[in-house]
Structure formats: C-alpha cells, structure tokens
Structure 1
Amino acid sequence: MTTIGFIGLGIMGSPMAVHLARAGHAVAGYNRSPEKTGPLVEAGGRAADSIADAVREADVVALMLPDSPDVTRVLTGEDGVFAHAAPGSLVIDFSTIRPDVTTELHARAVDRGLRLVDAPVSGGQAGAEAASLSIMVGGAAEDVEAARPVLETVGSTVVHVGPSGAGQTVKAANQLIVAGNIALLAEALVFLEAHGADLPAAVEVLGGGLAGSAVLTQKAAKMLTRDFGPGFRIDLHHKDLGIVTAAAREAEVPLAVGGIVAQLVAATRAAGDGSLDHSALYRTIARLAGRSPWDPTP
C-alpha cells in the first residue's frame, strides 16, 4: 500500500483517485471545491483540507490540474508541494502542460530532493472512469518504474517515452491528432447529411474500414445526437493546441493542417461553446456549411 496525496479532483482526477483508493492505497485528496472530494471519501479515501495536509505524509503526490500556471502554483507556492512533501517523495503530474514548464519544474524538484515524472493521459472522462487511460511518461527510468504501480492502476497503456518533458511533448502530438480527427469526422458527417445519407449506417461501415478510429467510435454518436456534454472540453483542447503550436514554432516545425484545426477550435470557443465536449467542433463545421449546429437530423 502506498500513501498518495492527490491534488485536483475534477472530471478526470476524481475517478483516478477513486481507482487508487479502491486498489488499497491510502489516498488523501485535495480540491479547491471541497465538495468534489465526496466520491473519493466514499471509496475509502480521505478529504484533505489543504495541499500541505494532502502531501505531508505521502510517498507519492499526484496532480491532475488544468494548465501550466496551476501546476506551477501548486508545486512551488508557499503552501505548495515542494514546501511540504517529504524528501524523496515521487511527484506524478498527470496534467497536460507545456514541455518547457515541465523540465523547469523537474529541475526545481530535484533541487528540493524530490522526484518528478510527467505522465499526461489520453482517454478522456470515459478512460478515467474505466481505468483504461493511455499514459505517456517522461522522466528518469528509475522514477518511472517507481511510479508504474500507480500508473498501471489508472491506465491500461503505460509507456516511458523519454526524459523529463517527453511525456508532455507526446501528449501535445496526441492532441494534435485527436483534434484533426474530430474536425474531419465533423466535416464528413456534415457532407453525408447534405446528401441525405443514412448516417448510422454510414458510421458503421466507415468504422469497419481504414477510416475507423477511436475518435469515430466515441464521437460520431455525440455529433449525430448533438449530445455535447463534456468528456473533454473545447476550452481544454484549445489550451492544448496552444501548447502544440508554441512548441512547433520553437522547433521551427510548420503545422499546416494543425494550424487550421487550431483556428477551428478557437472559433468554436469564441462562439461560446468552450464548456462543451470537443466533439462540439461539429457545430462550427455545420455553421460554415450553413446548416443547423444544434438540431439532430431526423
């Protein structure tokens, strides 16, 4: 049994912390909105009243936070992890943040006698709830191996992809691919709708061929029914594509297609759809075609 301080119990962090508690670990969870600790407590975990309370006796500190500034604040703030975690503690950052921020935080963790691995995840809310996340891990090999029992409790695919920051770089590529797939799926469905095709039948046959993908399997039904309740919000995907485009510019890598997709996601957010699932990119594609972005096809 490992003692784990888990910080960030939102749509992803809550089910992940619950899985860890049900696996027999002693999990103390902290969230700025205290009511979100409820599922963890029901699973046998403990609600911490501060970051310090969550991490002070922890062997492992896990983070699942929205963005780079949030992770930096939680780790380096006066009441943060670096100030209160015991020397030798292992910090696992499940958040999706900028690779350069991760490498800087890793150096600061080492200076404090701590170990840090970046372990961003893919799979969305469904993957978190099913403990089937794909986890791309960056860090020293011995630290990644130390983290593996925790990682394999919440994920079904765990791969060490390189040194500190490498996990975030691979996650950025993942988000680029996912956004592109969603955009093309939306265009395909709008195209099929315009021609009066049997949409469920079309999705079935497309899924059985080379066009099949996890995106088609998980997102086509949401587009067809206009059920855009969030599994992964447009706001977060917009943030992630900002990470991709900034890192690509730094490396002098053009993103010809990715740049267009990033602008479509930005337009979806600007239209007021930021709180919806990223499948709501369909709404922007439908608007461009002069079709209804809301009403399901009869």
Structure 2
Amino acid sequence: MKDKVLVVGAGRMGFGVIQTLIRKGYQVSVSDPSDEAVNRAKHIGAEAIEDSNQSLTDHNVIIMSLPGPVQVKEMTEKMVPFNQAHQPLVIDLSTIDPQTAIDASKRCKRKGLRYIEAPVSGGPSGASLA
C-alpha cells in the first residue's frame, strides 16, 4: 500500500482526484461538509473522517480541493501545528488567487506543514483520468 492521503473537499474536482488516487493504489481518506460527497467517495473505497485535524497526523499528504479562498484560509488556519518528525505535504488544488496561496503557505510553514499550490486544469473529467 502506498502513502495515506487525506482529500479535503470531495466535490466534482475532488471526487475525480479521489478516483485516481484509489485506482493508483493509495489509501484515501476524505473530509467534506457534504454527506452526499462523502458517501459517494466511500462508495468507491475512501474512508470518511469526521474531523480533518484529528486525522492529519495519520496522513503523509493532504490534498485540498476547496471552492475558493475563504475555505482555504479557514482550513489552513484551523490546521494543528506539527513537530519536525512529521511534516505532511499540503497540496492545494483549489482555485485561488496568488496572495491566498502565499498566505496559506506561510500559515502551513509556521505549523510545520509543507505547502504546494497546484492548480488543476482539465476540470473534473481531467482529474479522474490521470
């Protein structure tokens, strides 16, 4: 089994990412405020988690696929600090402006997280084809 990946945001784009990760053999957990989105991800093999912060230490990679800057700011503000022994990588696929990405990166760095902004092109169908 490959690394454990937490996907925060299981909407149209996030679901495509979840499909691809599961198909590639990753163990995927999912967090989303929508029960429908979580159930759809569970149906294809993802594990649902209630609180993404409780699960952060169990995952090497956190992928955020959020609707916009407000949600990215909220998520990165509420992430718990990590020690140097465990530094998960946050990959942000959200559609955000450069300043939001810079600010999110700074918040993550202060908490011991590594951050990469990785905007996705190709829409939901492109996310599920990789």
Q: TM-score scaled to structure 2, two decimals? A: 0.88
Distance 2:108 2:53 in 1: 16
List alignment gaps of at least 5 residues for structure 1.
132-298
**Are residues 84 and 10 of structure 1, via their aligned partners in 2, closer, same or farther at CA, if it must alter by over 3 Å?**
farther
Matched residue SS, 1:69: helix
**Are residues 85 and 32 of structure 1, via their aligned partners in 2, closer, same or farther at CA, if it must alter by over 3 Å?**
farther
Instruction: Report what 1:2 is aligned to.
Output: 3
The alpha-carbon deviation at position 38 of structure 1 amounts to 2.4
Q: Which has the higher strand share?
A: 2
Distance 1:54 1:62 in 2: 13
Instruction: Report what 1:107 is aligned to.
Output: 106
Deviations 1:175-212 (A, max 9, x none): xxxxxxxxxxxxxxxxxxxxxxxxxxxxxxxxxxxxxx
The number of equivalent residue pairs is: 127
**Are residues 103 and 16 of structure 1, via their aligned partners in 2, closer, same or farther at CA, if it must alter by over 3 Å?**
same
Instruction: Report what 1:119 is aligned to.
Output: 118
Distance 1:42 1:59 in 2: 23
The alpha-carbon deviation at position 108 of structure 1 amounts to 1.9
Q: In structure 2, give the amino acid aligned to 1:11.
A: R
Q: CA RMSD in A?
A: 1.7
The alpha-carbon deviation at position 42 of structure 1 amounts to 2.5
Distance 1:17 1:125 in 2: 11
List alignment gaps of at least 5 residues for structure 2.
none
Instruction: Report what 1:165 is aligned to.
Output: none
Matched residue SS, 1:61: strand
Higher relative contact order (CA 8 A, sep 6+): 2
Instruction: Report what 2:94 is aligned to.
Output: 95
The alpha-carbon deviation at position 84 of structure 1 amounts to 6.2
Q: 1:1-298 counterparts in 2 under 5 A? A: 1-77=2-78, 82-83=79-80, 87-131=86-130
Distance 2:19 2:129 in 1: 11
The alpha-carbon deviation at position 94 of structure 1 amounts to 0.4
The alpha-carbon deviation at position 4 of structure 1 amounts to 0.8
Distance 1:18 1:114 in 2: 25
Distance 1:19 1:95 in 2: 17
The alpha-carbon deviation at position 22 of structure 1 amounts to 2.1
Check whether the contact 2:9–2:32 (CA below 8 A) recurs between aligned residues: yes
Check whether the contact 2:6–2:28 (CA below 8 A) recurs between aligned residues: yes
Question: How many percent identity over aligned positions?
Answer: 29
Distance 2:19 2:99 in 1: 30
The alpha-carbon deviation at position 48 of structure 1 amounts to 0.9
Distance 1:69 1:50 in 2: 19
Q: In structure 2, give the amino acid aligned to 1:97.
A: I
**Are residues 88 and 47 of structure 1, via their aligned partners in 2, closer, same or farther at CA, if it must alter by over 3 Å?**
same
Distance 2:19 2:57 in 1: 20
The alpha-carbon deviation at position 55 of structure 1 amounts to 2.2
The alpha-carbon deviation at position 85 of structure 1 amounts to 5.9
Q: TM-score scaled to structure 1, two decimals? A: 0.40
Distance 2:81 2:42 in 1: 23
Q: In structure 2, give the amino acid aligned to 1:118.
A: E
Deviations 1:5-47 (A, max 9, x none): 1100001101211211221111110110122122322222201
Check whether the contact 2:6–2:62 (CA below 8 A) recurs between aligned residues: yes
Q: In structure 2, give the amino acid aligned to 1:83.
A: V
